[in-house]
């Protein structure tokens, strides 16, 4: 499958007048080559040509076994270095052996570092740089059945971990204690890793959408925002549910119902042919009609897959048209300073006829 992905990438890069795409360790290297390598002070660069020339790999000597053993059999032209030897020598060797000069290299704008580009541009006379972001996003946004199946499994196990965690939550626990219980269940379920450090927020902390788990104590009448996910077979889940400690006051009950309705409106608006901004507008209109528009302070959602945040972005001003296979979150929220917040986040996939929610955990109020 990854060889097919490389073949589909080549014409997109040729149309952008690129000669190579340079990949460093991270999600794109996994997507196109299957190689899991560590981004560190030791530079690693894979140069994939837009024509039929062989791909080039520049990496530490001790990493070469990964390239040789797969999982994708590519005819790598390997140039390596050992610890203690200047990195530049391997890059110079790669440029000379493959006659690299006056070439345009498409790079990953959020992954390529000054380190790798300096080594490449020093080795390659006349090297020019352009962004590979649009070409790569065009492929990665539309997930194939195997990718969607991996995400479904990660989501299923995440929801099971949430259910088990809720059985242990009691007033008086701290956010950190809740996070610890949740993380243990996620890892025990078989997660390869946590998608991110869980955001566990209670009371006034919940008014800050991205606060981490702290020393806040769960009190009667508080909301408890639980935003978490796992990575399984490279693909991620990203789920938020807002739990109630005891009983909500009247205002926070209205806030909860407004967010729940906004979430439903966003999922209903998501379908082939709709735009990202129209889904964002659908959720925002509900919250504004409820009188809380000023407290919805972020976009409605983001793409989900190999990365927790990736295209498409469900935000005002993004006229990208949704297509089958696109996976993203729908996560409206209301955050009232000094009082707390509510967010309900689902993971969805665009189908041929509409939108399927990959998350199934109840959106109704759950009280502990």
- Residue 162's CATH number: 3.90.230.10
What does the pLDDT read at residue 210?
87
Total number of domains constituting the chain: 2
Which residues, including other chains, have CB under 8 Å from residue 20's CB and lie 6 or more apart? 47, 48, 49, 50, 56, 103, 104, 105, 106
Give CA separation, 150 vs 54, 56, 355, in Å.
30, 30, 18
Does one domain contain both 131 and 110? yes
The yes-or-no verdict on residue 217 having pLDDT over 80 is yes
pLDDT band (50, 70, 90) for residue 70:
confident
pLDDT band (50, 70, 90) for residue 360:
very high
pLDDT band (50, 70, 90) for residue 73:
confident
Q: What is the mean pLDDT of residues 107-134?
A: 97
Q: What is the mean pLDDT of residues 87-107?
A: 97
Does one domain contain both 276 and 359? yes
Does one domain contain both 159 and 303? yes
The domain boundary, picked from 140, 175, 203, lies at 140
Higher pLDDT: 183 or 212? It is 183
What does the pLDDT read at residue 254?
98
Strands 20-23 vs 104-107: parallel, antiparallel or unpaired: parallel
pLDDT band (50, 70, 90) for residue 329:
very high
* Mean of pLDDT over the chain: 96
CATH number for the domain spanning 26: value is 3.40.350.10
Does one domain contain both 210 and 300? yes
Q: What is the mean pLDDT of residues 131-160?
A: 98
Residue 132 belongs to what domain range? 2-140
The domain boundary, picked from 95, 120, 140, lies at 140
Does one domain contain both 272 and 196? yes
Does one domain contain both 278 and 206? yes
What does the pLDDT read at residue 67?
87
Backbone phi, psi, residue 104, to 5°: -105, 125
Question: Which residue(s) pair with 341 in the sheet?
Answer: 335
pLDDT band (50, 70, 90) for residue 28:
very high
Does one domain contain both 132 and 155? no
For residues 275 and 298, give the distance between their C-alpha atoms in angstroms, rounded to a whole number: 18
The edge-to-edge listing of strands for the beta sheet with 104-107 is: 77-81, 56-60, 45-49, 20-23, 104-107, 128-131
Does one domain contain both 203 and 312? yes
Report the share of the chain in percent with pLDDT over 70.
Answer: 100
pLDDT band (50, 70, 90) for residue 1:
low
Give CA separation, 47 vs 33, 71, 72, 107, in Å.
11, 18, 15, 10
What does the pLDDT read at residue 74?
87
What does the pLDDT read at residue 68?
85
pTM (predicted TM-score): 0.95
For residues 196 and 216, give the distance between their C-alpha atoms in angstroms, rounded to a whole number: 20
The yes-or-no verdict on residue 35 having pLDDT over 70 is yes
Does one domain contain both 191 and 115? no
The domain boundary, picked from 90, 117, 140, lies at 140
Token pair belonging to 233: 């077979």
Does one domain contain both 249 and 353? yes
Cβ–Cβ < 8 Å for 323, 353? no
Q: What is the mean pLDDT of residues 119-147?
A: 98
Does one domain contain both 157 and 290? yes
For residues 359 and 155, give the distance between their C-alpha atoms in angstroms, rounded to a whole number: 6
Does one domain contain both 110 and 172? no
Which residues, including other chains, have CB under 8 Å from residue 258's CB and lie 6 or more apart? 286, 287, 290, 292, 334
221-224 long-range contacts, CB within 8 A, separation 24+? 221/245, 221/246, 221/247, 221/248, 221/249, 221/252, 222/246, 222/340, 223/248, 223/252, 223/256, 223/340, 223/341, 223/342, 224/169, 224/178, 224/200, 224/368
């Amino acid at each position: 499958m990854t060889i097919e992905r490389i073949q589909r990438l080549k014409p997109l890069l040729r149309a952008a007048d690129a000669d190579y795409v340079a990949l460093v360790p991270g999600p794109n290297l996994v997507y196109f080559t299957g190689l899991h390598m560590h981004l560190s002070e030791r530079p690693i660069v894979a140069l994939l040509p837009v024509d039929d020339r062989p791909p080039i790999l520049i990496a530490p000597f001790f990493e070469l076994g990964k390239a040789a053993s797969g999982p994708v059999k590519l005819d790598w032209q390997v140039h390596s270095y050992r610890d203690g030897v200047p990195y530049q020598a391997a890059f110079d060797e790669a440029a000379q052996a493959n006659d690299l000069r006056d070439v345009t290299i498409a790079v990953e704008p959020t992954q390529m570092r000054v380190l790798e580009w300096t080594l490449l541009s020093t080795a390659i006379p006349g090297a020019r740089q352009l962004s590979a972001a649009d070409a790569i996003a065009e492929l990665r946004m539309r997930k194939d059945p195997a990718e969607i199946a991996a995400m479904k499994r990660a989501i299923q196990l995440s929801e099971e971990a949430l259910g088990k965690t809720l059985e242990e939550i009691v007033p008086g626990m701290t956010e950190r204690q809740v996070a610890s219980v949740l993380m243990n269940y996620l890892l025990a379920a078989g997660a390869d890793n946590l998608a991110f450090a869980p955001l566990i927020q209670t009371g006034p902390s919940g008014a800050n959408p991205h606060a981490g788990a702290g020393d806040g104590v769960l009190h009667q009448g508080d909301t408890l925002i639980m935003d978490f996910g796992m990575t399984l077979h490279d693909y991620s889940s990203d789920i938020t549910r807002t739990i109630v400690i005891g009983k909500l006051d009247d205002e926070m009950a209205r806030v909860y119902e407004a967010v729940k309705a906004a979430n439903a409106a966003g999922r209903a608006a998501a379908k082939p042919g709709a735009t990202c901004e129209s889904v964002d507008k659908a959720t925002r209109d509900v919250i504004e009609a409820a009188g809380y528009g000023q407290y919805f302070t972020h976009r409605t959602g983001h793409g989900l897959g190999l990365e927790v945040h990736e295209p498409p972005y469900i935000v005002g001003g993004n006229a990208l048209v949704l297509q089958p296979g696109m996976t993203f979150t729908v996560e409206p929220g209301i955050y009232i300073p000094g009082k707390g917040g509510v967010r309900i986040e689902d993971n969805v996939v665009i189908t041929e006829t509409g939108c399927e929610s990959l998350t199934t955990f109840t959106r109704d109020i759950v009280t502990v």
